[in-house]
Amino acid sequence: MTSKTQRSAAAVALTILAAGMLAGCATDTPGATDGGDAAPIVIGAVSSITGPAPFPEVPGAAQAVFDRVNAEGGINGRQIKLVSVDDGADPAQAAQAARRLVQEDGVVAMVGSASLVECSANAAFYEKSDVVSIMGTGVEPSCFTAKNIAPVNNGTVPGYASLLYFASETLGHDKVCPVILNSAGLTDPYLEVIEKWEQDTGSTAPHIDTSVVLGDDPTPAILAVRDAGCNAVVFNANEPVAVAFMNTVKQQGLLGSADWLTLTSAYSESAFDALAAQGTLGMYANSEFLPFMSDDAALDGWRETLTAANVPRTSLSIGGYVSAEILVEVLRSIDGEITNETVLAAFRALDEIENPLMGMPFTFGDAPSHNPNRASRMVQATENGWQTVGDWVIVP
């Protein structure tokens, strides 16, 4: 990385490895050693390692980066010690974990976190405590509206926006129909990006469907976009919902009537296998980073680092890897004492950091909120596997 200056059975293995991380109890992450006489630089991470949507490979990838850096001599001779905590997708545990990390463990920054609840629980606390959090995977909208939190991934709403722009501007469709599968607090943000996309591109969605609640039968919504003459349908879904949605599309005989596009969580080996098995190849998804299943040489360092650490190579783990690399570069830029205040000051003064796995430079500065990565590469499930399509799509 230079400065101007991706869940499958493999993820289960990491969940098992993470079983020692008891909910609400901080555990020194394996592989982090102090080394020598100098005190280690303590970094924290609060992640949903257990719960309904576990993300163990995200802090696992951050640890892999720190292990590599430590083996190379650390930061000016000091080792990096990552203390990773499982919040169990419980806001109270997330809040307790953050306070222990900051007030007892003395972390100088948070990095590589991936949680369903951590941002809403801790954003105000991090700001009050002058602690920066460079998240590997931001999930909640509040992750992208906080002064001291900067996720390196797109997030669901910007990712959805990138699909809209791709459908109209790259695929050239004139009847792009958004289908929003309702989830708490997200419908209005989706409607806002749809309105902005229409203004930016001159497009007009012939039909916008907000009728489906997650878990419902999507058949009525799918028939509605057929009746509206849509030639592209953009829907928000995680991996199992996307697979089920596409199966319903096939059952209604509409697979070839339009292009079907969904969010990055469906870009996985297990999703591809399911799509192929049910005969619904052709679906597009956005990749928030350089597509992890591509053979791009820029992925070599990530592959080597994660393989050496036995961390699953997924799109999500790219987020953990990138966030840790960004932090390492900032730590190396600090002259003098490394504290939470000096780390935050270094991020506030940051111009930008380029990383080949991201489609745009990482920035931070003194902004009141942060969504530095608004670039996606599109992938399509084909007979030859997931194939990258087109160039980076950057959401304005």
Other Cβ atoms within 10 Å of 381 Cβ, number? 24
pLDDT of residue 182: 83
For residues 151 and 135, give the distance between their C-alpha atoms in angstroms, rounded to a whole number: 4
Best CA proximity match to 289, nearest among 316, 311, 262: 316
Domains recognised in the chain with CATH numbers:
2-154+295-365 (3.40.50.2300), 156-287+376-394 (3.40.50.2300)
pLDDT tens-digit profile of 148-187?
999 999 999 999 999 999 999 999 999 999 999 887 678 8
pLDDT value of residue 186: 80
d(C-alpha 390, C-alpha 377), whole Å: 7
pLDDT at 242: 96
Percent of the chain scoring above 90 in pLDDT: 85
Q: What is the pLDDT of residues 97-131, one digit of tens each?
A: 999 999 999 999 999 999 999 999 999 999 999 99
- In this prediction, residue 37 carries a pLDDT of 61
Distance between CA atoms of 266 and 284, rounded to whole angstroms? 9
DSSP, residue by residue, 205-273: -S--B--PBTTS--HHHHHHHHHTT-SEEEE---HHHHHHHHHHHHHTT-TTTSEEEE-GGG-SHHHHH
Q: Which of 11-20, 139-148, 177-186, 251-260 has the lowest mean pLDDT?
A: 11-20
